Amino acid sequence: MAAFEFMISHNQPFIDSKDLAAVQSVLQGRWIAEGKWARKFEKAISKYLHQKYAQCTSSGTAALHLALLALKIKKGDEVICSTYACTALLNALHYVGAKPVLADIDGKTLGLSPVTVKKRISRKTKAILVHHAFGIPADIQKIQALGIPVIEDIAQALGSRRGSRPLGSFGDLTICSFFATKMIATGYGGMILTKNRAWGEKIRDLCQYDRRRDYKVRYNYALSDIHAALGMSQFQKLTKFVARRRQIAARYLRALAQNSSIQTWIGRKGDKPNFYRFILAGRRKYAHDVNYFKRKGIQAISPIEPYQLLHRYLGLNPRNFPVAEAVAQYVVSVPIYPAMSQNQIRKVCQALQNLPVPGPSCTPGVVS
């Protein structure tokens, strides 16, 4: 039986002739490994995020690994992070032997709950990893006030702002990803940034392992100029990408305006999310809504299914993570990306307008 083909896929990169030309220019040159384009890409992102030092990496996971090494985090140290996040976080922590201390999320931001984080702090806590879920600003300033180094993860939040400041400008160290589904896509890739000179120099040293006079363990985490040139071309369109996503989100919100049983997340006052994802939750568990959209030819997904919650992977008690558990049970993500056509947007809006309203016997909404 043939696999079901969606008319409207959940995500799709925006690749234009300028992106193709950027990659072609590198391929026609004399050097395709890490080089001048990687340095240009670092400089551009650094300026945008108000940072001083940057290093391109082969992935967001590699960037996080370098951040942990810069902070000298080692076996037995603890790092607090959200349970509502991808397993790449656990991988990087295990690379250095650190213990992940998982915390529940805030129902309004879907990021780390500052109240829960405070309860998780111990003498072994060396860092807090703040992830801005779906581009929605987490309450990073309250977490910074706890006085522990913050690694800010903007894998999904490039282009989002809290007040006048871009996300990625708050943390002691910032990591980002340029995976195929991210705000700017290079296929694979990432970057680590900081304002701290000592950390910046250490990170650069850890990535420059060839033709050195000394030996220590260093890492082949470089990003090729092929990827970096594509990243630069994509970055030049970031403002347009964000504006387009916000326009589509506004149409979706209007389509849902008459359905009071549907909950959406648009951030707090002063937040300017990039709408990396448009997520919603009704009173039915996510599978019902995913199937509803499928019948309409629209690929909706559960962004993190219950079994993917990090506390479940680690065998921790789900009762200690009630908000994350509820969100994973109910939240659905629908297509939103710059490459969508007007007809595709219209079809999603129609589906949102007609989203079934559950009866009174269904479970209440996700969060209050």
Interstrand relation of 125-131 and 99-103 (parallel, antiparallel or unpaired): unpaired
Same domain, residue pair 92 and 179? yes
Domain boundary among 207, 235, 263: 235
Q: Residue 133: which residues within 8 A CB-CB, separation 6 or more?
A: 82, 84, 85, 105, 109, 110, 111, 156
Domain-located, residue 312 = yes
Mean pLDDT of 184-189: 98
Q: What number of residues does the chain have?
A: 368
Percent of the chain topping pLDDT 70: 95
Per residue in 197-226, pLDDT (tens digit) is 999 999 999 998 887 888 888 999 999 999
Domain-located, residue 365 = no
Which phi and psi angles does 274 have, rounded to 5°?
A: -85, -5
CB 290 within 8 A of CB 300: yes
Same domain, residue pair 86 and 216? yes
Residue 368 has pLDDT above 90, yes or no: no
Domain boundary among 235, 252, 282: 235
Residue 36 has pLDDT above 90, yes or no: yes
Same domain, residue pair 247 and 176? no
Task: State how many domains the chain has.
Answer: 2
In terms of residue numbers, what domain contains 272?
A: 238-353
Radius of gyration of the chain from Cα atoms? 21
**Which DSSP helix (H) or strand (E) runs through 252?**
helix 238-255
Domain-located, residue 346 = yes
Domain-located, residue 82 = yes
The domain spanning residue 100 has which CATH number?
3.40.640.10
Mapped onto helix, strand or coil, the DSSP state of residue 358 is coil
The domain spanning residue 310 has which CATH number?
3.90.1150.10
Per residue in 128-178, pLDDT (tens digit) is 999 999 999 999 999 999 999 999 999 999 999 999 999 999 999 999 999
Domain boundary among 235, 265, 296: 235
Domain-located, residue 5 = no
> CA-to-CA distance for 230 and 355, rounded, in angstroms?
38
Which phi and psi angles does 9 have, rounded to 5°?
A: -75, 160
Per residue in 18-32, pLDDT (tens digit) is 999 999 999 999 899
Supply the pTM of this predicted model: 0.94
